[in-house]
């Protein structure tokens, strides 16, 4: 596992989330289902491209990277974001998005072509 990339991409994903949420807050549109869906989709796309860059070789490695992405994000939310949105940790959508962040790197696992053997 490449710890530098895992931590770096975890921070990058969090920064992307923070910027997107900040833009919604700045334009007073940070409420409702559309806001939640857009932020979640942007986050998942960012997590996918970060995981794709790392190219995990197995499902276990992909989950490991996803866990690091999520842990980094939760720690940064606890240290920074919570000051701006004190109730964020009580949101079900908040936790669902982090569960999805853990799972998204599974989509980036390098697939090894299966060789078909002649049954003779």
Residue 51 lies in a domain: yes
| Per-residue confidence (pLDDT) for residue 47, from 0 to 100 | 93
Instruction: Give the HSE-up count for residue 62: Cα atoms under 13 Å, Cβ half-sphere.
Output: 22
The C-alpha angle 65, 69, 70, rounded to 5 degrees, equals 115
pLDDT tens-place string over residues 27-54: 888 787 888 888 889 999 999 999 999 9
Helix (H, G, I), strand (E, B) or coil at 4: helix
Task: Calculate the CA 36 to chain-centre distance.
Answer: 14
Residue 34 lies in a domain: yes
Residue 116 lies in a domain: no
Q: Give the residue numbers spanning the domain of 102.
A: 3-108
**Contact assessment for residue 100 and residue 44, using Cβ atoms and an 8 Å cutoff:** yes
Number of domains in the chain: 1
Angular region, 55: left φ>0, alpha ψ -120 to 50, beta rest = left
pTM: 0.84
């Amino acid at each position: 596992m490449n710890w530098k990339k895992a931590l770096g991409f975890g921070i990058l994903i969090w920064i992307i989330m923070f910027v997107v949420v900040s833009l919604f807050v700045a334009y007073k549109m940070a409420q409702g289902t559309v806001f939640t869906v857009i932020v979640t989709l942007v986050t998942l796309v960012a997590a996918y491209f970060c995981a794709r860059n790392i190219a995990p070789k197995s499902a276990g490695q992909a989950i490991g990277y996803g866990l690091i992405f999520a842990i980094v994000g939760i720690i940064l939310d606890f240290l920074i974001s919570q000051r701006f949105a004190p109730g964020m940790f009580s949101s079900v959508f908040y936790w669902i998005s982090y569960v999805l962040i853990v799972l998204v790197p599974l989509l980036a696992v390098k697939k090894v072509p299966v060789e078909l053997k002649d049954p003779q």
